[in-house]
Amino acid sequence: MDANAMTGAETFLRLLGSMGVERIFASSGSEWAPVWEYLAKPAAAAIPAYLSARHEETAIGAASGYAKSSGKLPAVMLHTTVGALHGAMALRAALHESVPMVVFAGESVAFGEDEGPDPGWQWMRSLGDVGGPARLVAPCVKWSFGVNSKSVLPSTIQRACQLALTPPFGPAFVSVPMEYLFEPMPASAASAAAIPRRAVADPAGIAQLADMLAAAKNPMILTERSGRSRAAVDCLVELAQALAAPVVQTRNPDYFNFPHDHPLHAGFDPAPVLKGADMIFMPATVAPWHPASAVPFRHAKVALLDENPLCSELPVWGYQADLCLVGEVEASLQALLEQVRKRVGDGDPARRQRAAAWAEKNAARRKAWTEKTLALKDAKPMETRWIAHELNAVLPANAVVVDETITHRPEILNELDRLAPGGFFCGCIGGLGTGLATALGVKAAQPEKTVIATIGDGTFNYNPVLAALGFAQEHGMPIMIVVFDNQGYLSQQSGVPKYFPRGFAMKAQKFAGTSIRPAPEYAGLAPLFGGYGERVDEPGELRAALQRGLKAVNEGALALLDVRLAPVP
């Protein structure tokens, strides 16, 4: 072995840097001591910045927000089996959201029996499991491997990065024996490990789709994830305008997919828009309506476009697909736009008339929505849509909103019409508990942006709140958190009237397990971490409170506003 060979720890950090990883989000344990030792040395090569989190869901959620916002590959370090299990829900969320990241958990394979480092009694007693961390979390990630020889550690690090960024994107998981981190590494890393280039959809298929869209009398576009790329949003706007086609989103869009104030934006309820369509184009869409068999249209053709259009990670899907194109969305939309422009002209009277009709319909929808919202300005307790309306009024031009609500989300989405591409991310597709961390990851990617987390009080309790607030304070990443506080779990309660409308619970108005009372004073948490906290009960005081929160954030402190709504019974 070359006396100058790098240790496993140095190899780990250098290879991540060479694969384009700029940030490591970590909630790791004692087995990573060799990595910490190398991080303390003067850097001899480009290595990622290390951001310590205080909970595994915080680390993985922050990595997710960072990846979504920056488009760059993050790494995560966890503490063996227990850390991997703590983070499993967040890993599953990244899998379902197709968020790329490389995740590493330490383990021991010698348990103190070799001449090398002794990890301690706890590894025999508490931390070891048959198959190790890689086996435990395998169903929650795209790819999982436990390194079984130090010779393959370098190439495995490279391969994990490649696999995470190979469509469909997702978390690639590697468990690393701590013993290998101390040892000199063989030169098994490839001199070059390119990320696979993402393919554009088949040109013949794009031409067929352009024909179908151009020939349609009532085309419409439905999307949930096109906004992963800001350029794709711009392209979708041009495509919609060329076709005079309305664009509708579902109540669960992952990103900002289309300008909310555009005349062709048809809201967040696909059913009424789909009803009259004869051609439906669904780029990057997972669940356009529910259930899949309840088709809300007659005789329409449906075309899909995505790198994973049939959602291979889901057990059931089953939506209509007359044309199914596999390809990277942004480049494929660009190619489609070019083909559509060849087939449609600016002077077509039918398209001009259709565009005008949709503009009038959407203006009327927005006007009616606004009038209903303004009628709530004096309502106490406050209503969700009034809170969202006031938030929208004070949003800075560079604002990014990360939403982790459930029952509040449709009204929040309808009110937030001042955001730009890249200005919205959903924080709870795969499960509740990662919204605050996702917002922090967005802040890590774009520190110049004003990042706002909207979250229900029930969801707030699922988050590792202290870890998230600590992360914001430690790393100087202030965000504003707006808690929609109805003192309970409204989504949980909703199943009772749905399934038992005349049952005992409805008659007695007694719902087990749905209240969060006595209601905690959440705002009191912020000062513990050098932040600004305020409880808001009066609708007329809300805007000023939001402005105070934004001022605190601009001055470098986190802000937490506890906004009280009508309590859940």
Q: Quick one: CA torsion of 288, 291, 294, 296, rounded to 10 degrees? A: -20
* % the chain with pLDDT above 90: 83
Q: What is the mean pLDDT of the chain?
A: 94
DSSP string, 231-261: HHHHHHHHHHHHHT--EE--S--SB--S-TT
339 and 380 together in one domain: no
Number of C-beta neighbours around residue 350 at 10 A: 9
**Residue 171: what are its φ and ψ, rounded to 5°?**
-75, 130
Query: pLDDT: is 136 or 45 the higher one?
Result: 136
Q: Given this model, what pLDDT does residue 1 score?
A: 45
Sign of the alpha-carbon torsion through 121, 123, 129, 131: negative
> How sure is the predictor about 46, in pLDDT bands with cuts at 50, 70 and 90?
confident
Interior/surface letters 312-321, b for 16+ CB within 10 angstroms, e for the rest: ebeeeeebbe
Distance spanning both ends of the chain, measured CA to CA: 70
What does the alpha-carbon distance between residue 514 and residue 510 come to, in Å, rounded to a whole number? 9
76: which strand partners?
25, 103
Of 328, 359, 390, the residue at which a domain comes to its end is 359
**Residue 286 belongs to a domain with what CATH number?**
3.40.50.1220
> How sure is the predictor about 429, in pLDDT bands with cuts at 50, 70 and 90?
confident
Q: Given this model, what pLDDT does residue 2 score?
A: 56
Q: Residue 99: name the closest of 74, 133, 132, 124 by CA.
A: 74
Query: pLDDT: is 441 or 130 the higher one?
Result: 441
274 to 246, 248, 279, 300: CA distances (angstroms): 10, 9, 9, 9
* % the chain with pLDDT above 70: 99
> How sure is the predictor about 568, in pLDDT bands with cuts at 50, 70 and 90?
confident
404 and 304 together in one domain: no
Q: What is the pLDDT of residues 133-188, one digit of tens each?
A: 999 999 999 999 999 999 999 999 999 999 999 999 999 999 999 999 999 988 78
**Residue 89 belongs to a domain with what CATH number?**
3.40.50.970
475 and 350 together in one domain: no
Asked whether residue 408 is assigned to any structural domain, the reply reads yes
> Can you give the residue range of the structural domain that contains 455?
376-564
113 and 209 together in one domain: no
254 and 144 together in one domain: no
Asked whether residue 447 is assigned to any structural domain, the reply reads yes
386 and 533 together in one domain: yes
254 and 280 together in one domain: yes
**Residue 61: what are its φ and ψ, rounded to 5°?**
-60, -40
352 and 211 together in one domain: yes
Q: Given this model, what pLDDT does residue 188 score?
A: 80
Asked whether residue 365 is assigned to any structural domain, the reply reads no
346 and 381 together in one domain: no
Asked whether residue 107 is assigned to any structural domain, the reply reads yes
CB distance 234 to 243 below 8 Å: no
Task: Give the lowest-confidence range in 84-98, 126-140, 352-366, 477-491.
Answer: 126-140
Domain count, the chain: 3
Asked whether residue 192 is assigned to any structural domain, the reply reads no
Mean pLDDT of 184-196: 88
460 to 301, 315, 415: CA distances (angstroms): 42, 29, 22
Task: Give the lowest-confidence range in 1-5, 264-268, 471-475, 533-537.
Answer: 1-5
419 and 524 together in one domain: yes
Of 305, 333, 359, the residue at which a domain comes to its end is 359
336 and 401 together in one domain: no
Asked whether residue 196 is assigned to any structural domain, the reply reads no
What does the alpha-carbon distance between residue 321 and residue 244 come to, in Å, rounded to a whole number? 22
407 and 330 together in one domain: no
Asked whether residue 327 is assigned to any structural domain, the reply reads yes
Q: Given this model, what pLDDT does residue 540 score?
A: 97
Of 331, 359, 387, the residue at which a domain comes to its end is 359
Asked whether residue 534 is assigned to any structural domain, the reply reads yes
